Homo-oligomer: A and B are copies of this chain.
Protein backbone atom coordinates (compact mmCIF):
# COMPACT_ATOMS: atom_id res chain seq x y z
CA UNK A 1 0.00 0.00 0.00
CA UNK A 2 2.74 2.42 0.96
CA UNK A 3 4.86 1.20 -1.87
CA UNK A 4 2.18 2.50 -4.20
CA UNK A 5 2.39 5.85 -2.42
CA UNK A 6 6.09 6.04 -3.19
CA UNK A 7 5.57 5.00 -6.79
CA UNK A 8 2.87 7.62 -7.26
CA UNK A 9 5.07 10.31 -5.73
CA UNK A 10 7.95 9.31 -7.96
CA UNK A 11 5.67 9.44 -11.01
CA UNK A 12 4.57 12.94 -9.98
CA UNK A 13 8.18 14.03 -9.52
CA UNK A 14 9.02 12.64 -12.93
CA UNK A 15 6.19 14.54 -14.61
CA UNK A 16 7.11 17.72 -12.78
CA UNK A 17 10.73 17.39 -13.93
CA UNK A 18 9.67 16.74 -17.51
CA UNK A 19 7.30 19.73 -17.47
CA UNK A 20 10.00 22.05 -16.12
CA UNK A 21 12.48 20.63 -18.65
CA UNK A 22 10.17 21.01 -21.65
CA UNK A 23 8.97 24.40 -20.38
CA UNK A 24 12.63 25.46 -20.35
CA UNK A 25 12.61 26.54 -16.70
CA UNK A 26 16.14 25.53 -15.67
CA UNK A 27 16.12 27.42 -12.39
CA UNK A 28 12.97 25.75 -11.06
CA UNK A 29 14.20 22.43 -12.44
CA UNK A 30 17.53 22.70 -10.62
CA UNK A 31 15.70 23.58 -7.40
CA UNK A 32 13.39 20.58 -7.77
CA UNK A 33 16.27 18.20 -8.50
CA UNK A 34 18.33 19.52 -5.58
CA UNK A 35 15.51 18.84 -3.13
CA UNK A 36 15.20 15.21 -4.17
CA UNK A 37 17.02 12.10 -2.97
CA UNK A 38 19.87 11.12 -5.32
CA UNK A 39 18.60 7.54 -5.64
CA UNK A 40 15.20 8.84 -6.79
CA UNK A 41 16.76 11.25 -9.32
CA UNK A 42 18.80 8.37 -10.76
CA UNK A 43 15.67 6.21 -11.03
CA UNK A 44 13.75 8.94 -12.86
CA UNK A 45 16.61 9.73 -15.25
CA UNK A 46 16.85 6.02 -16.04
CA UNK A 47 13.27 6.11 -17.33
CA UNK A 48 13.82 9.15 -19.59
CA UNK A 49 15.32 9.19 -23.10
CA UNK A 50 19.14 9.16 -22.97
CA UNK A 51 19.43 12.60 -24.61
CA UNK A 52 16.99 14.20 -22.15
CA UNK A 53 18.58 12.41 -19.20
CA UNK A 54 22.06 13.61 -20.17
CA UNK A 55 20.93 17.22 -20.42
CA UNK A 56 19.09 17.11 -17.10
CA UNK A 57 22.04 15.36 -15.44
CA UNK A 58 24.28 18.24 -16.55
CA UNK A 59 21.99 20.72 -14.77
CA UNK A 60 22.51 19.05 -11.40
CA UNK A 61 24.66 20.83 -8.81
CA UNK A 62 28.08 19.12 -8.89
CA UNK A 63 27.83 17.33 -5.54
CA UNK A 64 24.37 16.01 -6.31
CA UNK A 65 25.57 14.93 -9.75
CA UNK A 66 28.26 12.76 -8.17
CA UNK A 67 25.74 11.16 -5.83
CA UNK A 68 23.29 10.49 -8.65
CA UNK A 69 26.13 9.13 -10.80
CA UNK A 70 26.93 6.39 -8.26
CA UNK A 71 23.30 5.19 -8.41
CA UNK A 72 23.38 4.79 -12.21
CA UNK A 73 23.94 1.38 -13.79
CA UNK A 74 27.12 1.01 -15.81
CA UNK A 75 25.41 1.67 -19.15
CA UNK A 76 24.20 5.08 -18.00
CA UNK A 77 27.59 5.84 -16.46
CA UNK A 78 29.20 5.15 -19.82
CA UNK A 79 26.73 7.43 -21.60
CA UNK A 80 27.52 10.23 -19.18
CA UNK A 81 31.31 9.79 -19.35
CA UNK A 82 31.27 9.49 -23.14
CA UNK A 83 29.51 12.85 -23.48
CA UNK A 84 31.27 14.73 -20.67
CA UNK A 85 34.13 17.18 -20.81
CA UNK A 86 37.44 16.14 -19.29
CA UNK A 87 36.93 18.56 -16.41
CA UNK A 88 33.58 16.97 -15.54
CA UNK A 89 35.01 13.46 -15.65
CA UNK A 90 37.84 14.57 -13.42
CA UNK A 91 35.41 16.06 -10.92
CA UNK A 92 33.24 12.98 -10.75
CA UNK A 93 36.27 10.75 -10.31
CA UNK A 94 37.64 12.88 -7.54
CA UNK A 95 34.42 12.83 -5.57
CA UNK A 96 33.00 9.33 -5.81
CA UNK A 97 34.09 6.74 -3.25
CA UNK A 98 36.91 4.48 -4.27
CA UNK A 99 34.93 1.23 -4.25
CA UNK A 100 32.25 2.76 -6.49
CA UNK A 101 35.02 3.82 -8.86
CA UNK A 102 36.41 0.30 -9.01
CA UNK A 103 32.94 -1.18 -9.59
CA UNK A 104 32.47 1.31 -12.39
CA UNK A 105 35.81 0.60 -14.04
CA UNK A 106 35.23 -3.16 -13.91
CA UNK A 107 32.14 -2.73 -16.09
CA UNK A 108 33.50 -0.17 -18.57
CA UNK A 109 34.91 -0.85 -22.05
CA UNK A 110 38.68 -0.45 -22.39
CA UNK A 111 38.65 2.94 -24.13
CA UNK A 112 36.65 4.51 -21.31
CA UNK A 113 38.85 2.89 -18.67
CA UNK A 114 41.86 4.43 -20.42
CA UNK A 115 40.22 7.83 -20.43
CA UNK A 116 39.52 7.54 -16.71
CA UNK A 117 43.00 6.30 -15.80
CA UNK A 118 44.45 9.22 -17.76
CA UNK A 119 42.60 11.60 -15.46
CA UNK A 120 43.87 9.96 -12.26
CA UNK A 121 47.04 10.81 -10.38
CA UNK A 122 49.91 8.32 -10.81
CA UNK A 123 49.53 7.00 -7.27
CA UNK A 124 45.82 6.51 -7.68
CA UNK A 125 46.37 4.91 -11.07
CA UNK A 126 48.68 2.40 -9.40
CA UNK A 127 46.05 1.70 -6.73
CA UNK A 128 43.27 1.29 -9.29
CA UNK A 129 45.33 -1.16 -11.31
CA UNK A 130 46.07 -3.12 -8.18
CA UNK A 131 42.36 -3.27 -7.33
CA UNK A 132 41.41 -4.32 -10.84
CA UNK A 133 43.85 -7.22 -10.43
CA UNK A 134 42.18 -8.76 -7.40
CA UNK A 135 40.27 -11.87 -8.42
CA UNK A 136 36.64 -11.28 -9.33
CA UNK A 137 34.33 -11.56 -6.30
CA UNK A 138 37.27 -11.45 -3.86
CA UNK A 139 37.19 -9.19 -0.80
CA UNK A 140 39.87 -7.07 -2.47
CA UNK A 141 37.72 -6.37 -5.51
CA UNK A 142 34.80 -4.99 -3.48
CA UNK A 143 36.53 -3.25 -0.56
CA UNK A 144 36.96 0.47 -0.18
CA UNK A 145 40.07 2.26 1.06
CA UNK A 146 38.11 5.14 2.55
CA UNK A 147 38.07 4.11 6.20
CA UNK A 148 39.05 6.02 9.32
CA UNK A 149 42.11 4.86 11.22
CA UNK A 150 43.70 6.21 14.40
CA UNK A 151 46.70 5.42 16.56
CA UNK A 152 46.00 3.87 19.94
CA UNK A 153 47.83 6.61 21.81
CA UNK A 154 45.25 9.27 20.90
CA UNK A 155 42.70 10.46 23.42
CA UNK A 156 38.98 10.29 22.64
CA UNK A 157 38.96 14.04 22.10
CA UNK A 158 41.87 13.90 19.67
CA UNK A 159 40.25 11.03 17.80
CA UNK A 160 36.99 12.96 17.48
CA UNK A 161 38.89 15.97 16.15
CA UNK A 162 40.56 13.74 13.56
CA UNK A 163 37.18 12.35 12.51
CA UNK A 164 35.87 15.87 12.08
CA UNK A 165 38.77 16.60 9.74
CA UNK A 166 38.79 13.49 7.55
CA UNK A 167 35.28 12.10 8.08
CA UNK A 168 33.68 13.55 4.98
CA UNK A 169 35.99 11.64 2.65
CA UNK A 170 35.37 8.34 4.38
CA UNK A 171 32.68 5.88 3.33
CA UNK A 172 31.88 5.12 6.95
CA UNK A 173 33.04 6.67 10.20
CA UNK A 174 30.91 4.41 12.36
CA UNK A 175 33.77 1.99 12.95
CA UNK A 176 37.24 3.40 13.53
CA UNK A 177 40.26 1.17 13.05
CA UNK A 178 43.27 1.28 15.35
CA UNK A 179 46.50 0.50 13.47
CA UNK A 180 50.20 0.62 14.37
CA UNK A 181 52.99 2.24 12.35
CA UNK A 182 53.14 -0.73 10.01
CA UNK A 183 49.38 -0.54 9.36
CA UNK A 184 48.89 -3.70 11.41
CA UNK A 185 45.36 -3.82 12.82
CA UNK A 186 45.43 -3.60 16.62
CA UNK A 187 41.80 -3.01 17.48
CA UNK A 188 38.54 -1.28 16.62
CA UNK A 189 36.37 1.37 18.26
CA UNK A 190 32.83 2.12 17.19
CA UNK A 191 31.80 5.75 16.87
CA UNK A 192 29.13 4.95 19.43
CA UNK A 193 31.79 3.95 21.97
CA UNK A 194 33.75 7.07 21.10
CA UNK A 195 30.71 9.32 21.60
CA UNK A 196 29.88 7.60 24.89
CA UNK A 197 33.43 7.75 26.30
CA UNK A 198 34.96 10.55 28.34
CA UNK A 199 37.04 13.03 26.36
CA UNK A 200 40.35 12.28 28.06
CA UNK A 201 40.25 8.48 27.83
CA UNK A 202 42.93 6.92 25.64
CA UNK A 203 41.90 4.85 22.59
CA UNK A 204 44.03 1.92 23.78
CA UNK A 205 41.79 1.65 26.86
CA UNK A 206 38.46 1.60 25.09
CA UNK A 207 39.34 -0.28 21.89
CA UNK A 208 38.15 -3.78 21.22
CA UNK A 209 41.11 -6.08 20.50
CA UNK A 210 39.18 -9.22 19.51
CA UNK A 211 38.87 -8.01 15.93
CA UNK A 212 37.16 -10.09 13.27
CA UNK A 213 38.67 -9.45 9.85
CA UNK A 214 38.81 -11.02 6.38
CA UNK A 215 41.69 -11.61 4.02
CA UNK A 216 41.85 -9.63 0.80
CA UNK A 217 41.66 -12.81 -1.30
CA UNK A 218 38.67 -14.30 0.46
CA UNK A 219 35.48 -14.87 -1.51
CA UNK A 220 32.76 -12.22 -1.16
CA UNK A 221 30.31 -14.89 0.00
CA UNK A 222 32.47 -15.53 3.06
CA UNK A 223 32.71 -11.78 3.71
CA UNK A 224 28.93 -11.55 3.57
CA UNK A 225 28.67 -14.45 6.02
CA UNK A 226 30.97 -12.71 8.51
CA UNK A 227 29.09 -9.40 8.43
CA UNK A 228 25.83 -11.27 8.76
CA UNK A 229 26.95 -13.45 11.65
CA UNK A 230 28.33 -10.60 13.76
CA UNK A 231 25.79 -7.92 12.70
CA UNK A 232 28.61 -5.58 11.63
CA UNK A 233 28.30 -2.22 9.87
CA UNK A 234 31.69 -2.92 8.23
CA UNK A 235 34.46 -5.53 8.35
CA UNK A 236 38.20 -4.77 7.96
CA UNK A 237 40.21 -6.36 5.15
CA UNK A 238 43.87 -7.31 5.66
CA UNK A 239 46.57 -8.54 3.28
CA UNK A 240 48.65 -11.69 3.72
CA UNK A 241 50.96 -9.83 6.13
CA UNK A 242 47.89 -8.89 8.22
CA UNK A 243 48.25 -5.21 7.33
CA UNK A 244 44.99 -3.34 7.01
CA UNK A 245 44.17 -2.49 3.37
CA UNK A 246 40.46 -1.62 3.36
CA UNK A 247 36.95 -2.23 4.64
CA UNK A 248 33.75 -3.73 3.26
CA UNK A 249 30.49 -2.12 4.37
CA UNK A 250 27.11 -3.69 5.04
CA UNK A 251 25.38 -2.08 2.04
CA UNK A 252 27.76 -3.93 -0.30
CA UNK A 253 26.96 -7.13 1.56
CA UNK A 254 23.26 -6.78 0.83
CA UNK A 255 24.04 -6.65 -2.86
CA UNK A 256 26.33 -9.67 -2.54
CA UNK A 257 23.69 -11.74 -0.77
CA UNK A 258 21.13 -10.90 -3.42
CA UNK A 259 23.59 -11.58 -6.21
CA UNK A 260 24.68 -14.94 -4.77
CA UNK A 261 21.04 -15.98 -4.39
CA UNK A 262 20.38 -14.96 -7.99
CA UNK A 263 23.34 -17.01 -9.16
CA UNK A 264 22.04 -20.05 -7.31
CA UNK A 265 18.58 -19.59 -8.81
CA UNK A 266 20.18 -19.50 -12.24
CA UNK A 267 22.39 -22.53 -11.72
CA UNK A 268 19.50 -24.53 -10.31
CA UNK A 269 17.47 -23.75 -13.42
CA UNK A 270 20.28 -24.95 -15.72
CA UNK A 271 21.41 -21.45 -16.67
CA UNK A 272 24.98 -20.20 -16.90
CA UNK A 273 25.07 -17.58 -14.13
CA UNK A 274 25.18 -13.93 -15.18
CA UNK A 275 24.95 -10.62 -13.35
CA UNK A 276 23.34 -8.75 -16.23
CA UNK A 277 19.81 -7.49 -15.84
CA UNK A 278 17.36 -9.53 -17.90
CA UNK A 279 15.78 -6.60 -19.74
CA UNK A 280 19.20 -5.12 -20.62
CA UNK A 281 20.63 -8.38 -21.98
CA UNK A 282 20.47 -8.93 -25.74
CA UNK A 283 18.66 -12.12 -26.83
CA UNK A 284 21.83 -13.65 -28.28
CA UNK A 285 23.55 -13.41 -24.87
CA UNK A 286 20.52 -14.85 -23.10
CA UNK A 287 20.49 -17.69 -25.63
CA UNK A 288 24.18 -18.41 -24.99
CA UNK A 289 23.56 -18.65 -21.23
CA UNK A 290 20.84 -21.20 -21.79
CA UNK A 291 22.06 -23.40 -24.55
CA UNK A 292 25.01 -25.22 -22.98
CA UNK A 293 23.02 -26.90 -20.24
CA UNK A 294 20.02 -27.58 -22.48
CA UNK A 295 22.28 -29.38 -24.95
CA UNK A 296 23.99 -31.36 -22.22
CA UNK A 297 20.69 -32.39 -20.65
CA UNK A 298 19.11 -33.18 -24.02
CA UNK A 299 21.97 -35.47 -24.95
CA UNK A 300 22.02 -37.11 -21.52
CA UNK A 301 18.30 -37.80 -21.88
CA UNK A 302 19.45 -40.25 -24.53
CA UNK A 303 20.07 -42.55 -21.60
CA UNK A 304 16.42 -42.41 -20.61
CA UNK A 305 15.42 -43.04 -24.20
CA UNK A 306 17.64 -46.08 -24.48
CA UNK A 307 16.23 -47.51 -21.26
CA UNK A 308 12.76 -47.07 -22.70
CA UNK A 309 13.94 -48.79 -25.87
CA UNK A 310 15.26 -51.75 -23.89
CA UNK A 311 11.81 -52.26 -22.41
CA UNK A 312 9.83 -51.69 -25.63
CA UNK A 313 8.66 -55.30 -25.48
CA UNK A 314 7.08 -54.74 -22.07
CA UNK A 315 5.01 -51.87 -23.45
CA UNK A 316 4.12 -53.88 -26.53
CA UNK A 317 2.92 -56.66 -24.20
CA UNK A 318 0.98 -54.37 -21.86
CA UNK A 319 0.37 -51.04 -23.66
CA UNK A 320 -1.33 -49.39 -20.68
CA UNK A 321 2.01 -49.34 -18.85
CA UNK A 322 2.88 -46.47 -21.17
CA UNK A 323 0.43 -43.88 -19.91
CA UNK A 324 1.87 -43.81 -16.39
CA UNK A 325 5.43 -43.05 -17.47
CA UNK A 326 5.15 -39.21 -17.58
CA UNK A 327 3.50 -39.13 -14.15
CA UNK A 328 6.20 -41.38 -12.71
CA UNK A 329 9.05 -39.35 -14.19
CA UNK A 330 7.56 -36.00 -13.14
CA UNK A 331 6.80 -37.14 -9.61
CA UNK A 332 10.32 -38.48 -9.22
CA UNK A 333 11.80 -35.27 -10.59
CA UNK A 334 9.69 -33.09 -8.31
CA UNK A 335 10.38 -35.21 -5.22
CA UNK A 336 14.12 -35.12 -5.94
CA UNK A 337 14.31 -31.40 -6.57
CA UNK A 338 12.42 -30.70 -3.33
CA UNK A 339 15.14 -32.44 -1.34
CA UNK A 340 17.94 -30.99 -3.46
CA UNK A 341 16.63 -27.44 -3.06
CA UNK A 342 16.41 -27.67 0.71
CA UNK A 343 19.91 -29.09 0.99
CA UNK A 344 21.46 -26.67 -1.54
CA UNK A 345 19.89 -23.69 0.21
CA UNK A 346 20.88 -25.08 3.61
CA UNK A 347 24.48 -25.37 2.43
CA UNK A 348 24.38 -21.84 0.96
CA UNK A 349 23.18 -20.15 4.15
CA UNK A 350 25.37 -22.33 6.37
CA UNK A 351 22.61 -24.32 8.08
CA UNK A 352 23.89 -27.59 6.65
CA UNK A 353 27.54 -28.61 6.41
CA UNK A 354 29.13 -31.52 4.55
CA UNK A 355 29.68 -33.33 7.86
CA UNK A 356 25.88 -33.52 8.24
CA UNK A 357 25.62 -35.98 5.32
CA UNK A 358 24.47 -38.87 7.49
CA UNK A 359 21.87 -36.75 9.28
CA UNK A 360 20.50 -35.62 5.92
CA UNK A 361 20.45 -39.19 4.64
CA UNK A 362 18.54 -40.42 7.68
CA UNK A 363 16.09 -37.50 7.54
CA UNK A 364 15.44 -37.90 3.82
CA UNK A 365 14.97 -41.63 4.30
CA UNK A 366 12.24 -41.07 6.89
CA UNK A 367 10.58 -38.29 4.91
CA UNK A 368 10.70 -40.31 1.71
CA UNK A 369 8.94 -43.26 3.30
CA UNK A 370 6.11 -41.05 4.57
CA UNK A 371 5.74 -39.15 1.32
CA UNK A 372 6.18 -42.27 -0.80
CA UNK A 373 3.49 -44.23 1.03
CA UNK A 374 0.94 -41.40 0.85
CA UNK A 375 1.58 -40.82 -2.84
CA UNK A 376 1.36 -44.55 -3.56
CA UNK A 377 -2.01 -44.83 -1.81
CA UNK A 378 -3.48 -41.75 -3.50
CA UNK A 379 -2.13 -42.97 -6.81
CA UNK A 380 -3.79 -46.35 -6.37
CA UNK A 381 -7.11 -44.65 -5.65
CA UNK A 382 -6.71 -42.35 -8.62
CA UNK A 383 -6.10 -45.24 -11.04
CA UNK A 384 -9.03 -47.21 -9.61
CA UNK A 385 -11.25 -44.17 -10.08
CA UNK A 386 -10.15 -43.10 -13.56
CA UNK A 387 -9.44 -46.51 -15.04
CA UNK A 388 -11.95 -48.81 -13.30
CA UNK A 389 -11.46 -51.56 -15.87
CA UNK A 390 -7.72 -51.63 -15.48
CA UNK A 391 -6.08 -54.80 -14.19
CA UNK A 392 -5.59 -54.07 -10.43
CA UNK A 393 -2.10 -55.52 -10.74
CA UNK A 394 -1.17 -52.59 -12.97
CA UNK A 395 -2.42 -50.11 -10.37
CA UNK A 396 -0.34 -51.90 -7.75
CA UNK A 397 2.70 -51.92 -10.05
CA UNK A 398 2.42 -48.18 -10.62
CA UNK A 399 1.90 -47.43 -6.93
CA UNK A 400 4.88 -49.49 -5.79
CA UNK A 401 6.97 -47.79 -8.48
CA UNK A 402 5.84 -44.37 -7.28
CA UNK A 403 6.92 -45.22 -3.77
CA UNK A 404 10.38 -46.49 -4.71
CA UNK A 405 10.91 -43.67 -7.20
CA UNK A 406 10.10 -41.05 -4.56
CA UNK A 407 12.45 -42.73 -2.10
CA UNK A 408 15.31 -42.96 -4.55
CA UNK A 409 14.72 -39.42 -5.81
CA UNK A 410 14.82 -37.96 -2.30
CA UNK A 411 17.99 -39.81 -1.35
CA UNK A 412 19.73 -38.78 -4.58
CA UNK A 413 18.40 -35.22 -4.24
CA UNK A 414 19.57 -34.95 -0.66
CA UNK A 415 23.02 -36.45 -1.08
CA UNK A 416 24.17 -35.23 -4.50
CA UNK A 417 24.57 -31.57 -3.43
CA UNK A 418 26.48 -32.56 -0.28
CA UNK A 419 28.71 -34.84 -2.33
CA UNK A 420 29.38 -31.97 -4.72
CA UNK A 421 30.30 -29.67 -1.85
CA UNK A 422 32.62 -32.32 -0.40
CA UNK A 423 34.63 -32.54 -3.61
CA UNK A 424 34.60 -28.70 -3.86
CA UNK A 425 32.07 -28.54 -6.71
CA UNK A 426 29.17 -26.12 -6.67
CA UNK A 427 26.14 -27.79 -5.04
CA UNK A 428 23.69 -25.63 -7.02
CA UNK A 429 24.96 -27.14 -10.27
CA UNK A 430 23.87 -30.56 -9.02
CA UNK A 431 20.31 -29.35 -8.72
CA UNK A 432 16.99 -30.02 -10.37
CA UNK A 433 17.96 -30.58 -14.01
CA UNK A 434 20.78 -33.03 -13.41
CA UNK A 435 18.79 -34.80 -10.73
CA UNK A 436 15.82 -34.99 -13.08
CA UNK A 437 17.94 -36.82 -15.64
CA UNK A 438 19.23 -39.28 -13.06
CA UNK A 439 15.81 -39.80 -11.53
CA UNK A 440 14.16 -40.25 -14.94
CA UNK A 441 16.48 -43.12 -15.72
CA UNK A 442 16.18 -44.82 -12.34
CA UNK A 443 12.41 -44.42 -12.21
CA UNK A 444 12.04 -46.27 -15.51
CA UNK A 445 14.31 -49.09 -14.34
CA UNK A 446 12.32 -49.39 -11.11
CA UNK A 447 9.02 -49.29 -13.00
CA UNK A 448 9.88 -52.08 -15.42
CA UNK A 449 11.53 -54.19 -12.72
CA UNK A 450 8.36 -53.98 -10.60
CA UNK A 451 6.23 -54.64 -13.67
CA UNK A 452 8.26 -57.73 -14.47
CA UNK A 453 7.74 -59.12 -10.98
CA UNK A 454 4.08 -58.16 -10.60
CA UNK A 455 2.84 -58.89 -14.09
CA UNK A 456 5.20 -61.71 -14.98
CA UNK A 457 6.17 -60.26 -18.35
A78, B283: Cα distance in complex, Å: 53
A338 at the interface (CB under 8 A from B): yes
Chain A at the B interface: mostly helix, strand, loop or mixed? Answer: helix
A325 at the interface (CB under 8 A from B): yes
- Using Cβ atoms and an 8 Å threshold, which residues of chain B touch A37? 210, 212, 230
Q: Quick one: which of A181-225 are within 8 Å of B by CB?
A: 191-192, 195-196, 210, 212, 214-215, 217-218, 222, 225
In this complex, how many residues of chain A approach chain B with their Cβ under 8 Å: the count is: 123
- Using Cβ atoms and an 8 Å threshold, which residues of chain B touch A231? 39, 251
A375 at the interface (CB under 8 A from B): yes
- Are B291 and A164 closer than 8 Å at their CB atoms? no
A302, B290: Cα distance in complex, Å: 30
Contact of A269 (CB < 8 Å), options: B283, B284, B341 = B341
CB distance from A407 to the nearest CB of B (A): 12
Interface string of A311-350 (1 = CB under 8 A from B): 0100110011011111101110111011011111110010
A277 at the interface (CB under 8 A from B): yes
Q: A277-B351, A283-B370 are in contact. Are A312 and B322 (CB under 8 A)?
A: yes
A342, B324: Cα distance in complex, Å: 31
- Are A215 and B2 closer than 8 Å at their CB atoms? yes
Q: A261-B261, A330-B298 are in contact. Are A2 and B218 (CB under 8 A)?
A: yes
Stretch at the interface among A48-56, A83-91, A167-175: A167-175
- Using Cβ atoms and an 8 Å threshold, which residues of chain B touch A77? none
Q: Quick one: which of A77-129 are within 8 Å of B by CB?
A: none
- Using Cβ atoms and an 8 Å threshold, which residues of chain B touch A195? 160, 163-164, 167, 173, 191, 195
Interface string of A385-414 (1 = CB under 8 A from B): 010000000000000001000100000000
What are 19 A-B interface contacts by the 8 Å CB criterion? A37-B210, A39-B229, A164-B195, A228-B251, A228-B255, A253-B254, A265-B265, A266-B342, A268-B341, A269-B340, A278-B351, A278-B363, A284-B370, A291-B374, A301-B327, A301-B330, A305-B327, A325-B326, A432-B432
